[in-house]
Structure 1
């Protein structure tokens, strides 16, 4: 049995940040446990390689939801990172913080210290923006954020111009003074290679004598002494091991695995735990509740002008672009697939954007649900435009299905369970139609392939949404931060209510979904959480 000051469960987007920051001054012994293995893989480091890791069990939990009534009983595929860097090692790399109002909402919900002015310094601290630092952006943080203009497809300019033609302004920086507008996305990348949190935070720290990293170490339960978390039990190479924490255990396993581990350890809804034969340490009803996720839709178009399909469909096109990437770290393989996009308001009276857009100069009409396999596009020129409502009101939950820690939890997304969410989806699709009718895009569109021009009425759109909508892989809020121990899980300092020596620090603590991709705010939570932990340790 080994003893540390801090034991961190999960080397994901927040966990890697914690391991770096808590071990930085050499004062504390830190153990980082990761259920997966190394991120040293071409398919992880090459930006477009996530098309491979999307279905690769060696680096991916490959979860599936329960059948969902809102999606006509369909099951959703939920990839989650099971590797150093977590989902930051297998995501599409889009860097979006969200709107300032998102964090003002967090504070208004009873979470002091989480307003925009409170979190902005941590976004800036984490980031090294290739455009340099300013009032909003960081210039010397560990996480490289890169502008991809050099290799963007020319059709991105058609997308931007079409937005301007319908009075949506061009926005060169969605993480600057304002989020609204259309433009191109920055990626978490440097020199043509993915910048996961493993690369950004762990590689510079892995030589520290006071930081121990154990890979393929599956945490099976937390060890309690009464109501104090004293350590973690984990399985590695078939052997059960224990690591004890003299100060704190920090759960950073993500929005799926963090509530699962708490429930397996006796912290969660009491009736659920007893049903599965788990001894109740504390009846905490909110563990696994309040699940939120973004749900997206795509329109596919046949193009009159060449797209990436023309470059990548043939075997020799793949070979050429592969050689180009290996030799120069450039070309389309050095980018994520979502090159353009934006944030728009779909109706009058809104004070801020309610819809995120995605533009990809590639199409694939036979792709598996949710997958965008850039290396296997259609044999004709095509592109897609996608939309996702930014702040859905549907709420789901996650619960253990067994006391076996190796059994996947039951994921109940409960998509489209409110009329508001369906109306937002319909408005997003109508906005895409409006955008595609602008001359800059209309002039290059040969045909709308999916859903097709016969889909016109609200009823038609609603049926299409239930048949085709899919997760955008942004689950949050399953260990929600808030002021009420009866419904929330952690307080504003991320301490689990009613227990000592235990925090949750990852996207599961989000009070609500942020307006956009969730990786950047998850990293921010890691940065802010680390400061809180160090502050409290000094006072002990």
Structure 2
């Protein structure tokens, strides 16, 4: 669950590259000890400038630099993703609110959530949030993509790209590929409580689901969640896509480079992108990465930073831009709108004293919260055991109402007891336990996510200064159906926990606690504790026309009204899929790369996948 409290040495300026990341030359070719440059991009011009080095960018950088004919530049504000906390799945808990590898963002104060701000984990490193997520690999369902209603993006269209991108360790199998770069496998950690959860779920009437990514059957049921790992190590897109390409002479990656503006020239024939302005530190000099003739800027900064940077560059709602003194290049009302996420709540229960040692936390830590050498050895020599898991790779997809056509709830089962109903605060409490020399108590946790949430928020501007975080209105429960989903989710989780054989292990419910018995009590608990499932999408949505709120064309991902500018990241997803969004983001990036290389077009299929 956790490697231990964070110990991070802060530089003078967040975002500045460490000295150890300096470039060197080897054998006449530009190569680097950490495979990324710490200095400016220089005076050369590029065919593609990728803004952000996250999930989609790593895919694009690999594919677009493959033939050697195009010069590709990646600008990433954070460091590389080589840290141990990233590579080891259990290190995820060190990455929450990390002072260097996380953006440290929170929403605006949410009145409907008891005047709370919601922390939003966003990876700030090469690999982006693929380096800090829970490694769960879920595509959602075929119906998710058919519901987009976009030509060329039906389930039939996207399935081939999911399969092409994947390298499934237990394949080949129907709906799974083995020739791609996105490594997936079954979890490499097993706990007796996993099986007991499955038996309890079955006792409530849930079916077993052997493969949640197999679209030949419904998503409902309990089972193992496939993970984006390779032999127990995180398989983020930095490791699987970008690193293998770093020796190419036509690919340049600059870390510690904060993009501040996309340069766009307006002429008689329209607006055209010329390059990207960026800074190596907040109050330092600004540099410009220039495009070669016919070159393009590809926005890969994610659902928060892509719309933020577009607006700072004059692309967005005209009224908002004028309010902040920004010249309007393209008046697109959809920029920053349509923000979607998976709101999450928790049910946790303490184990009876005789069963506390069964918890994953007890397998990792001793009674004074020090890491056990046995757990370390098991991981180092076998790539198995409690360090090979993010803790939540078993669970279920459930419909909380019989009126629903597919699940609205994901249950993530953790064989360990949350110390706080907010996932991040659990590890703050853990730090206090360690200081006091106390053990992490055993038990179970069910994290409950409204995976097809209907509520929508927005990304706005606080100022024209690119170093001031945007105004993020997460807007959970603006559609009451999402709150109803989580209320029903707690009830269903309680029902499972009350079934034998799981029941015999449990002593008491800690969150929300037995006093929260009525729907009103549960609503209050959820409003006080709801947190992000870290699945932000939709803020530069693709579609057929800007008149319907689209920002980019679903035919080619080009930004409406600006030549030489495309968006390729989670922000283009028009509606959130009912699964973890990393898989869908990689799918979009694979398609975009093939489109740019002239290897494919985004053409409509004849019919959706039959389920």
Q: Is the structural similarity TM-score above 0.5?
A: yes
**What secondary structure, in the 3-state scheme, does the structure 2 residue paired with 1:139 have?**
coil
- The gaps in structure 2 that reach 5 residues or longer are 1-42, 434-438, 602-611
Q: 1:491 aligns with which of 547, 550, 553?
A: 553
- Compared with structure 1, are the counterparts of its residues 371 and 119 closer, same or farther at alpha carbon in structure 2 (3 Å cutoff)? farther
Report if the CA contact (8 A) 2:314-2:328 is conserved.
yes
Distance 2:414 2:279 in 1: 42
1:247 is aligned to 295
1:191 is aligned to 231
1:124 is aligned to 163
Q: Deviations over 1:351-382 (max 9, x none)?
A: 21111111000113247654564986863321
Following superposition of structure 1 onto structure 2, how do residues 524-535 of structure 1 map, counting pairs within 5 Å?
524-535=587-598
Report if the CA contact (8 A) 1:301-1:448 is conserved.
yes
Q: Deviations over 1:225-268 (max 9, x none)?
A: 21111211111253322122232111000000000110110111
Aligned residues: 535
Residue 186 of structure 2 is aligned to residue 144 of structure 1: no
Q: Which moved more, 1:273-282 or 1:11-20?
A: 273-282
Report if the CA contact (8 A) 1:159-1:340 is conserved.
no
1:298 is aligned to 346
Distance 1:482 1:161 in 2: 44
Distance 1:434 1:403 in 2: 50
Report if the CA contact (8 A) 1:94-1:517 is conserved.
yes
Report if the CA contact (8 A) 2:365-2:372 is conserved.
no
**What secondary structure, in the 3-state scheme, does the structure 2 residue paired with 1:318 have?**
coil
Q: Deviations over 1:20-45 (max 9, x none)?
A: 11111222111111111111211111
Q: 1:312 aligns with which of 351, 358, 364?
A: 364
TM-score by length of 1: 0.95
Following superposition of structure 1 onto structure 2, how do residues 413-428 of structure 1 map, counting pairs within 5 Å?
413-428=474-489
1:429 is aligned to 490
Report if the CA contact (8 A) 2:364-2:386 is conserved.
no
Distance 1:419 1:274 in 2: 34
Q: 1:475 aligns with which of 530, 536, 549?
A: 536
Following superposition of structure 1 onto structure 2, how do residues 51-90 of structure 1 map, counting pairs within 5 Å?
51-90=93-132
Distance 2:487 2:372 in 1: 40
Report if the CA contact (8 A) 2:166-2:181 is conserved.
yes
Distance 2:57 2:395 in 1: 29
Q: Deviations over 1:199-230 (max 9, x none)?
A: 00011111112111111111110111211112
**What secondary structure, in the 3-state scheme, does the structure 1 residue paired with 2:593 have?**
helix
1:512: how far off? Answer: 0.6
1:170: how far off? Answer: 1.2
Report if the CA contact (8 A) 2:97-2:103 is conserved.
no
1:536: how far off? Answer: 8.7
**What secondary structure, in the 3-state scheme, does the structure 2 residue paired with 1:333 have?**
helix
TM-score by length of 2: 0.84
2:39 is aligned to none
- Compared with structure 1, are the counterparts of its residues 379 and 29 closer, same or farther at alpha carbon in structure 2 (3 Å cutoff)? closer
Report if the CA contact (8 A) 1:156-1:339 is conserved.
no
Distance 2:261 2:193 in 1: 50
Distance 1:408 1:259 in 2: 12
- The gaps in structure 1 that reach 5 residues or longer are none
2:60 is aligned to 18
Report if the CA contact (8 A) 1:187-1:336 is conserved.
no
**What secondary structure, in the 3-state scheme, does the structure 2 residue paired with 1:535 have?**
coil
Q: Which moved more, 1:16-25 or 1:441-450?
A: 441-450
Q: Deviations over 1:383-431 (max 9, x none)?
A: 1012112211111101121111111111001111122222112111111
Residue 258 of structure 2 is aligned to residue 233 of structure 1: no
Report if the CA contact (8 A) 1:480-1:511 is conserved.
yes
